[in-house]
């Protein structure tokens, strides 16, 4: 390897230090595969060092924010490590983000530089392409400047209203998060993992971080758009790991039927996240992959993957999102900030070394979210006597019907089982009768004409009367964020049913 690679601190106390340490000790081990391109750890470290040098020549210093926006590719992963090596803060932005929003995010974080695959946008911030940053081989690079307490990442969450929230993570946070995840999934250096989800999002980025700690091989494919091709890649490379969102499996199930069962002998683990999975698809995976560890995480950008369920192990806990990861504490607090009894819903509060430092330039929001008990998630849930966590909606989504709290997710699950309804979304609106304060309004996507009377008759006996929507609107599509989460606050209009 190039003797000019960054010098390491005596102890690998950051993920980027672990990455370079593994490259020094195992330079010929496979690190990345993308299409026809492959990198060993030695080659990946040398290219990362070249990118670090390119950043330094452009005046990037510790603490500077560097925006990084590109489709999945090896240089995207290596640029993430290079930003950390120089001590700067990586600001991951989805390549599919419209230019006006991207411009707003780059300005909001006051980025010194935008790193991208090509220079095709109009930004006030300077742009450097991967090719420009790697135009010269690395030489005489400084020591890695990442320290445990310094910031590593600024990740914008997919908020539905108002100013986006920039989550601030330290090197200690992301190292702790990777350790927590690896303690559950237990990947090893001999694993080859297919990651067709965006590295610019928390889920995909988490798989990259775990790889830096483990030393396994990562197959970085373009963002999910062809489930059949993903399956073919999984089988051709005999991948032992797969990270995918539920929608990916839904598409795979429809297009390729049961062919994922062909991977049963080689696929050691799956991680699923970002959204709930349909019970039929969950059972489909369990039936076809009886010996594969199928993990589904619950978490958020602010506190990484805090809770995991394993489908086979937890088959008798079908409604649960699982158990807290080792070293992570999950509490349920009532409205007065006291621990709620087992089985009683309250706000989910998470604590551990992976919890964020706060929100970028939003001290009041940080103060309201970070308490002595940990990070206040805004999610409502409860714990059973075995320590399993169950979700019951969002605090901000809960509909108050005359004092009765209604979780829209629960109503939607029943609506989606009504004949003719393919998808639904419920929100709280002022009660038209002026009695209960709020009432449930349901937005419906249907494959055929359907009346409100038919829907109500279908729901009666399955839901309490106060939970049954009082009004319905027919729409073409449910609005969702890029990570697949329903955006309840943005929808209006539709055709009355």
Quote the percentage of the chain above a pLDDT of 90. Answer: 71
- For residue 140, the model assigns a pLDDT of 55
Higher per-residue pLDDT: 7 or 135: 135
pLDDT of residue 143: 74
User: What is the predicted pLDDT for the residue at 160?
Assistant: 39
Q: Give the β-pairing of 358-359 and 166-170.
A: antiparallel
Neighbour tally for 254: CB within 10 Å: 10
Which residues belong to CATH 3.40.50.12780 in the chain?
15-383
Task: Give per-residue pLDDT as tens, 440-449.
Answer: 999 999 988 8
CA distance 5 to 139: 7
Average pLDDT over residues 202-216: 97
For residue 173, the surrounding DSSP H or E stretch is: helix 171-185
Cα(496)–Cα(131) distance, integer angstroms:
54
Task: Just give the CATH number of 15-383.
Answer: 3.40.50.12780
CB 15 within 8 A of CB 209: yes
Nearest to 483 by CA among 272, 229, 232, 324: 272
CA dist 186 and 2 (Å) reads 31
Q: What is the structure's pLDDT at 184?
A: 98
Which residues of the chain form CATH 3.30.300.30?
Answer: 399-496
pLDDT digits (tens, 9 = 90+) for 63-116: 999 999 999 999 999 999 999 999 999 999 998 887 888 999 999 999 999 999
Q: Which CATH class, in words, describes the domain spanning 399-496? A: alpha beta
Residue 49 pLDDT > 90, yes or no?
yes
Each residue of 353-365: pLDDT tens digit?
999 999 999 999 9
Predicted confidence band at 471 (pLDDT cuts at 50, 70, 90)?
A: very high
Task: Give the C-alpha separation, 25 to 365, whole Å.
Answer: 43
pLDDT at 162: 53
What per-residue confidence (pLDDT) applies to 403?
61
Q: Is the pLDDT of residue 493 over 80?
A: no
- Find, among 432, 489, 487, the residue nearest to 472 by Cα: 432
158: pLDDT strictly greater than 80:
no
In this predicted structure, the answer to whether residue 433 has a pLDDT above a threshold of 80 is no
């Amino acid at each position: 390897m190039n003797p000019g690679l960054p010098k390491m601190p005596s102890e690998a106390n950051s993920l980027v230090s672990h990455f370079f340490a593994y490259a020094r000790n195992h330079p010929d081990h496979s690190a990345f595969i993308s299409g026809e391109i492959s990198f060993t750890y030695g080659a990946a470290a040398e290219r990362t060092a070249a990118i670090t040098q390119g950043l330094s020549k452009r005046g990037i210093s510790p603490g500077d924010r560097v925006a990084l926006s590109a489709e999945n590719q090896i240089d995207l992963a290596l640029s993430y490590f290079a930003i950390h090596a120089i001590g700067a803060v990586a600001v991951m932005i989805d390549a599919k983000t419209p230019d006006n929003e991207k411009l707003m995010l780059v300005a909001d974080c006051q980025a010194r530089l935008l790193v991208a695959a090509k220079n095709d946008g109009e930004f006030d911030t300077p742009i450097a392409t991967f090719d420009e940053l790697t135009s010269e081989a690395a030489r005489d690079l400084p020591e890695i400047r990442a320290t445990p307490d310094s910031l590593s990442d600024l990740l914008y969450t997919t908020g539905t209203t108002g100013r986006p929230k920039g989550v601030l993570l330290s090197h200690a946070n992301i190292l702790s998060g990777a350790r927590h995840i690896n303690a559950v999934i237990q990947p090893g250096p001999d694993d080859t993992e297919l990651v067709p989800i965006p590295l610019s999002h928390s889920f995909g980025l988490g798989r990259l971080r775990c790889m830096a700690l483990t030393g396994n091989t990562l197959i970085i494919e373009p963002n999910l758009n062809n489930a059949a091709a993903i399956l073919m890649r999984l089988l051709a490379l005999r991948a032992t790991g797969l990270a995918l969102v539920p929608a990916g499996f839904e598409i795979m199930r429809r297009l390729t039927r049961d062919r994922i069962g062909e991977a049963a002998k080689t696929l050691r683990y799956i991680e699923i996240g970002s959204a709930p999975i349909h019970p039929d698809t969950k059972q489909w995976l369990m039936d076809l992959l009886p010996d594969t560890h199928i993990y589904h995480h619950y978490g958020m950008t602010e506190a990484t993957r805090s809770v995991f369920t394993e489908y086979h192990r937890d088959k008798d806990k079908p409604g649960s999102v699982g158990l807290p990861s080792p070293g992570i504490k999950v509490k349920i607090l009532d409205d007065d900030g006291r621990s709620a009894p087992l089985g009683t819903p309250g706000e989910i509060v998470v604590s551990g070394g992976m919890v964020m430092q706060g929100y970028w330039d939003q001290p009041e929001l940080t103060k309201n979210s970070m308490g002595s008990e940990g990070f206040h998630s805004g999610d409502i849930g409860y714990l059973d006597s075995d320590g399993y966590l169950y979700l019951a909606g969002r605090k901000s989504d809960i509909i108050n019907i005359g004092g009765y709290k209604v979780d829209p997710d629960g109503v939607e699950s029943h609506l989606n089982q009504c004949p003719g309804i393919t998808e639904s979304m419920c929100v709280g609106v002022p009660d038209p009768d002026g009695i209960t304060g709020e009432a449930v309004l349901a937005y419906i996507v249907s494959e055929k004409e359907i009346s409100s009377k038919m829907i109500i008759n279908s729901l009666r006996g399955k839901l309490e009367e106060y939970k049954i929507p009082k009004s319905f609107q027919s729409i073409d599509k449910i609005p969702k964020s890029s990570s697949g989460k329903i955006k309840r606050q943005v929808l209006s209009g539709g055709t009355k049913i």
